[in-house]
Amino acid sequence: MVKLDLGRAAELTNRFHELRDIERSGGILNFTPHIGQAKFMESCFNNRETWAFTGNRWGKTEASLAVIVGMATGEYPAHEYGTGRVLGIRWRHRSGQKFWICAQTSEKLREVIQPKLLRLLPKRFIKPKGIHRQAHDLIDFIELTDGSRIVMKNYAQDVETYEGDDIDGVFFDEQPKWAQYKASMIRLIDRAGHAFGALTPVEGLGWVYREVYKKRDKLGIKCFTGDMDDNPFIAQAEKDSFLAHLTEDEIRVRKEGKFVALHGLIYPMFDSDLHVVEDFKVPSHWVKVTATDPHLKKPMSTVWMTCAGEDCEFNGRKFNRGDHFIYREMKYAGIIPDAVAVFRLAESEFNERIRIRLGDPALNIKTANFSGLNTFAEFARYGWAMQPASKDLNSGVEKVRTRLKVSPPSLYIFRSCYGVMEEFLEYKYKDIGDDPAKNYSDSVLQQYDDYMDPVRYIENSGLLEMAIKDREVANRPIFTKSGRVIGWEEQYIGAR
């Protein structure tokens, strides 16, 4: 029979609570990074942009949150695990700073990010009643005693929520959307802020690989890779159990943090250095076409495209007669009258004359949802008349690919069109099996296609090519029997 020493048990219990209080009050001072984390953290503090591409359980989230806390409070981990080496951190702490922590979902923020952040952030730095929460216990932002602020964001939010603020630092947990990344980088300019991200590259050779990892030397971005084995705090038996269920490619991604080509990218030839150009004022005589992909459950998407009417040069780059440009993008979530008003307002600012508008042909059918009219007629009713586009996927994709691939290319995207750029980088075929030689169908994933569909509609129509071949015919006004010039809206409504 085992005798229980109640006095000893009470002593150990008190000691446990004492150590826990010390840990809670010390926060980041009690965090001891392993060598991989330490090098990554030093770079985050000392360089403008840093990324860590690691296997699972490497500790990338903890290291990144420790950086945020260190920047916000001026306190840093004491030393590197196992060596006693003091971290080489150069960071000028000042009051009134602002930081963003960005994650995939609000659930990830609440269940993973918030608990780790609050363990690292000493309570003495948090302003009384400074933790501001939304519904379901989700933290919106934390105010510190010196006026600094740590704000939580997720990638489900619209890109507009990433605009209009100046920040000192931003942490991307896993891969953000391209538009959110670019908007966040702009927010850092005024304060010379720092950006850093940490992810396990499960997205394959997506935009982070092509626009960050491959161009790291050219852009001065510091990148680190990390293997699960770098973390000395995980038992080998646990690692072996986890890895036993993974394929060879999955091990390279989830253990070693390596980028692995996931077949299926529709536009692998897209390169932002080659195909993205600085915005310029589109000449008024160039023919312009729009295409719209209306939706009820998600924002309506529209792109504006034009065709160079002659050889030209803008912002130091030369273009050829017949080159195509995607020069504007817009999304709007709401009812048709409001969407049309927003789209037309964008055009009125530049006094544009749009020759033809295209739309998803699936909407050219009668429906009871819109006053007994079909969706095309409903749009035309408010001044946005469209013609049905061709939905032929293979033909449209091939035309876009050809324009991207020729040298020099004949399809360009204005730099302000972040959404279009992101979709070019992420647009994929649907995976239908495990055979790497036969695992992609002729259908695409129903994501990253809001702008890709309208771009395909325009290229598949051949309207810009016809316009450049015979500009006189393309721009010839159309007269009614009374001799009055009419526009496309009136033509459509009259025909209906």
Q: Where are the domains of the chain?
A: 23-254, 272-495
Stretch 324-328: mean pLDDT, rounded?
96
Please answer whether residues 305 and 286 qualify as being in contact, where contact means their C-beta atoms are separated by less than 8 angstroms.
no
% of residues, the chain, pLDDT over 90: 50
Alpha helices in 358-436 (DSSP H): 375-381, 393-405, 418-426
Smallest CA-to-CA distance from 409 within 318, 316, 305, 286 is with: 318
DSSP 261-275: --S-BS-TT--HHHH
Smallest CA-to-CA distance from 119 within 47, 53, 23 is with: 23
Apex 492 CA angle, 490 and 496, nearest 5 = 115
pLDDT at 375: 81
Label residue 247 exposed, middle or buried (CB < 10 Å: 0-12, 13-18, 19+). exposed
Q: How far apart are CA 244 and CA 255, in angstroms?
A: 11
Stretch 175-184: mean pLDDT, rounded?
92
User: Which residues in 106-166 belong to E strands, given as ranges?
Assistant: 126-133, 139-144, 149-154
Stretch 319-334: mean pLDDT, rounded?
93
- Higher model confidence: residue 52 or residue 425? 52
Which range, of 227-236, 272-281, 392-401, 439-448, averages the lowest pLDDT? 439-448
Local structure of residue 34 (DSSP, 8 states)? -
Q: Is residue 328 within a helix (H) or strand (E), and if so which, with residue range?
A: strand 324-332
Question: Going by DSSP bridges, is the β-strand pair 169-173/194-199 parallel, antiparallel, or unpaired?
Answer: parallel
Stretch 107-132: mean pLDDT, rounded?
94
Cα dihedral 16, 77, 227, 431, rounded to 10, equals 90
Q: How far apart are CA 476 and CA 461, in angstroms?
A: 19
Alpha helices in 223-284 (DSSP H): 236-243, 248-254, 272-275
Q: Is a pLDDT exceeding 50 seen at residue 488?
A: no
Please answer whether residues 171 and 100 qualify as being in contact, where contact means their C-beta atoms are separated by less than 8 angstroms.
yes
Q: How far apart are CA 116 and CA 295, in angstroms?
A: 39
Stretch 84-88: mean pLDDT, rounded?
85
Measured N-to-C along each axis, helices 178-187 and 418-426 cross at an angle, to the nearest 10 degrees, of 140
Rounded to 5 degrees, φ, ψ at 202 are -75, -10
Partners of 172 in beta bridges: 102, 197
pLDDT (tens digit, 9 = 90+) per residue, 341-385? 999 888 887 778 787 899 988 776 554 444 556 788 888 888 888
Apex 113 CA angle, 111 and 118, nearest 5 = 100
Q: What is the pTM of this model?
A: 0.70
Mean pLDDT of the chain: 84
pLDDT at 67: 96
Cα dihedral 340, 346, 349, 353, rounded to 10, equals -70
pLDDT (tens digit, 9 = 90+) per residue, 153-164? 999 898 888 988
Which CATH number applies to 272-495: 3.30.310.50, 3.30.420.280, 3.30.420.40, 3.40.190.10? Answer: 3.30.420.280
Smallest CA-to-CA distance from 262 within 309, 212, 210, 312 is with: 210
Fold of 23-254: Rossmann fold (3.40.50)
Which range, of 143-152, 206-215, 362-371, 390-399, averages the lowest pLDDT? 362-371
Q: Which residue has the tokens 């090098």?
A: 39
Label residue 48 exposed, middle or buried (CB < 10 Å: 0-12, 13-18, 19+). middle
The pLDDT-based confidence of 439 (bands split at 50, 70, 90) is: very low
Q: How far apart are CA 73 and CA 84, in angstroms?
A: 22
Q: Which residue has the tokens 């740590």?
A: 150
Counting Cα atoms < 13 Å in the Cβ hemisphere of 491 gives 13
Smallest CA-to-CA distance from 326 within 406, 403, 399, 414 is with: 414
pLDDT (tens digit, 9 = 90+) per residue, 381-412? 888 888 888 888 889 999 999 999 999 999 99
